[in-house]
Structure 1
Amino acid sequence: MNVTAANGNMIETRLRLLGATKIEKVSGVLYFVKFELDNHLEVSYAYNVNAKDKYFLQRIKPYPIPEGLFSDEEQVVEFIRRDIEKFKNAQRSTNFMNFVELVRIMNGVSRDMESLFLNYNVDKVDLERLISEFTEVQKTIKESKEHSTHVVLTNVEIQE
């Protein structure tokens, strides 16, 4: 038994002691992919292949966001190709760094909301206020889409 397998067994035992009802060992493989675009912008991804040969893809940089489950590696490659194309285009915008910062802030807000939900007994009035304010943010995003020009890109060959 190697060190990784021993660590996995130790974690599994501890999770069972915590009350885990099902632990499934998956023979997945984890991959990290990194792209360096202009102006030192790094766009990176992680994906793993699970026991059912499905690919779970997540963008890591410039901000983390799960991208979903794909049925084959061609879909993963095509998604990344289009995503890189979009980042190359978006990077030309004078608002690019502000947008990246905004997404990072929103990711932080998501973590803060989870912490609030799981660690505090929040007053109903505060919760209703948060719902109202975030509903307004969603409305502002929708309105911004409606009066902004939609970007349509042609296929750009990406060097492998």
Structure 2
Amino acid sequence: MRKYINAEAMQHAMKLAQMGATVQQINSKMCYVTFDLKEDIKLEYVYNINSKEKYFLERIKPYPLPIKVFDSEEDLIDIIQIDLEQFKSAINSHNLSDFIKINKRLNKTIKKFEDLFLYYNVPTIEMDIIMEEISKIEEEIDKTKEISKRIYFKKDPENL
């Protein structure tokens, strides 16, 4: 099985190199982590440990979110623990399903925007309108933060 995977990787690398890519194949270990929070809500992650001892973490469920690269296993586990605590707390919220729905919709919107950019020559005026609408959403998030009660204090938000 290992020989087959290595052969497949070599074939992919060759095709990508023919397309102009520089390909580095890194021996690594992929780890998949699942927490059952509620009967219909799972918290799932995938992380990769590469030969340079770097850890790339991504949340898969309840919605996808690349988190970051960590220098140590301890830092990676600390972030998963904080995330788990936050989601366990959020389960008690009557807005959790709406929050997850909005987040999934935002992810879908990002993909639609990328498709718009990659498939069409978009007029500048339309880009300006989209940017203005994004600014309105960001303002609403900031306003909502100001009027909402903070419930988690072990870590400060990164983007607020």
- Tell me, yes or no, whether TM beats 0.5: yes
TM-score by length of 1: 0.91
5+ residue gaps, structure 2, are: 155-160
Counterpart mapping for 1:74-113 below 5 A = 74-113=74-113
RMSD: 1.3
Question: In the comparison of the two structures, how many residue pairs are matched?
Answer: 153
Aligned residues of 2:47 and 2:56 also touching (Cα < 8 A): yes
Determine the structure 1 residue equivalent to 2:3. 2
1:10-47 Cα deviation digits (max 9, x unpaired):
11111111111x21111111110000012331000000
Counterpart mapping for 1:3-152 below 5 A = 3-20=4-21, 22-152=22-152
SS in 2 for 1:37: strand
Aligned residues of 1:86 and 1:153 also touching (Cα < 8 A): no
Counterpart Cα distance in 2 of 1:97 and 1:58: 21
Letter in 1 for 2:19: L
Counterpart Cα distance in 1 of 2:23 and 2:17: 8
Aligned residues of 2:86 and 2:152 also touching (Cα < 8 A): no
Letter in 2 for 1:60: I
1:84-119 Cα deviation digits (max 9, x unpaired):
111011011111100000000000111111111111
Letter in 2 for 1:86: Q
Q: Following TM superposition, where does structure 1 have runs of at least 4 consecutive aligned residues deviating by more than 3 angstroms?
A: none
C-alpha deviation, 1:153, in angstroms: 5.4
Between the aligned residues of both structures, percent identity stands at: 31
TM-score by length of 2: 0.91
Counterpart Cα distance in 2 of 1:78 and 1:27: 24
5+ residue gaps, structure 1, are: 155-160
